[in-house]
Each structure stands twice: as C-alpha cells, then as structure tokens.
C-alpha cells in the first residue's frame, strides 16, 4: 500500500473517531420570508463522551454573522439572548429547538429556499469540528410574541 493511501486511510479513521464523540441529529432551518434578516437553526447534539462539552461557535457561508442564542422567558416576554457557548453535559443531549437554544444565521446574502440545505460548521471545545447540512423546512409558527425563532 502506498503512503498516500495509507495516510488517507488514517485521516478517515481519525474523522470517524472524532465524530463518534458528538453526534448531530436532524439539523434543520426554519424557512423565512425572502426579506428576513435572521434564520433559526435547530438540531440535537449528542455528547457520547464522559466529559462535558461546549459548542463554542458555528459558521455558515453567506451570512454576516452566526451566533449561538437561547430564547428565554423574561417576565412573560420571550426574548433571545446571545450565548458564548452551548453546554452539552457528559452523556447527554442538547436539543436546539424553537423557543429554546438555537443557532442564529444573521443577515443572509440570500434567504435559502425551502428544501435547500445550508452547510453549518460547528466547533466544540474538545477540538471536534463537524459540518452538518441543515435543510430548510417550513416550521410551525409558534403562537408567541415577537423574537421567537
């Protein structure tokens, strides 16, 4: 076996192993009007390790900024608060969903169509970097006040 193939195999093994620590399920983006300035991204993140992990940041091409947000109830008013990270306790699952934790795509160059996918790169504090393809779906409108993503 030549060296090139061998090193390719090794890097594949490494990727498979790294990804086994963190498993992302069902990444999706809630569809928005063509003039929307933000889009919410949701998913479930499984921490398969015995250590707490933090989601530190997310990136997507074609957006001015990508932030980690959490919608909180502030005296009956739902509002989004930017978070420095999202915690995923050991052996637990963090659920990003409307009205709770989410990733916010801010100032899109173009709002993606329903059915299209957006590649979102996730960076965790254990060194894992994982890119997921989030599909744009028409999410149910939540009967809530403003600023609910």
Q: Which of 43, 57, 69, 94 binds Cu ion (CB under 5 A)?
A: 69
Site string for Cu ion, 94-113 (x = CB under 5 A): ----------x---------
In the complex, least distance from residue 39 CB atom to Cu ion, rounded to whole angstroms: 9
- Determine phi and psi for 20, rounding to 5 degrees: -70, -20
Q: CA 26 → CA 55, 82, 96, distances in Å? A: 17, 22, 10
With helix as H, strand as E and coil as C, how does 11-63 read? HHHHHHHHHHHEEEEEEEEECCCCCCCEEEEEEEEEECCCCCEEEEEEECCCE
Closest separation between CB of residue 111 and Cu ion, Å? 15
We find the least distance from the C-beta atom of residue 116 to Cu ion, in angstroms, to be 20
Nearer to Cu ion, 24 or 103 (CB): 103
Task: Tell which positions 4-63 bind Cu ion, by CB under 5 A.
Answer: none
State whether residue 101 is helix, strand or coil.
strand
Which residues have CB under 8 Å from 144's CB, separation 6+? 78, 99
Q: Whose Cβ is closer to Cu ion: residue 46's or residue 67's?
A: 67
Provide, rounded to whole angstroms, the least separation between the CB of residue 59 and Cu ion.
16
Asked if 149 interacts with Cu ion (CB under 5 A), we say yes
Of 18 and 56, nearer to Cu ion (C-beta) is 56
Residue from 58, 60, 68, 80 touching Cu ion (CB under 5 A): that is: 80
Summarize as ranges the residues that interact with Cu ion (CB under 5 A). Answer: 69, 80, 104, 149
């Amino acid at each position: 076996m030549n060296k090139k193939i061998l090193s390719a195999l090794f890097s594949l093994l490494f990727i498979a192993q790294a990804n086994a620590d963190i498993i992302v399920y069902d990444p999706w983006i809630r569809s928005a009007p063509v003039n929307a300035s933000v889009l919410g991204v949701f998913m479930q993140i499984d921490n398969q390790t015995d250590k707490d992990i933090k989601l530190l940041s997310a990136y997507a091409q074609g957006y001015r900024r990508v932030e980690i947000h959490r919608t909180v109830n502030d005296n009956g008013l739902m509002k989004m608060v930017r978070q420095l990270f999202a915690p995923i306790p050991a052996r637990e699952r963090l659920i990003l969903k409307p009205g709770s934790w989410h990733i916010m795509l801010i100032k899109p160059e173009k709002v993606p169509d329903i059915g299209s996918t957006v590649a979102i790169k996730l960076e965790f504090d254990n060194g894992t970097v994982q890119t997921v393809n989030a599909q744009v779906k028409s999410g149910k409108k939540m009967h809530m006040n403003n600023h609910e993503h």
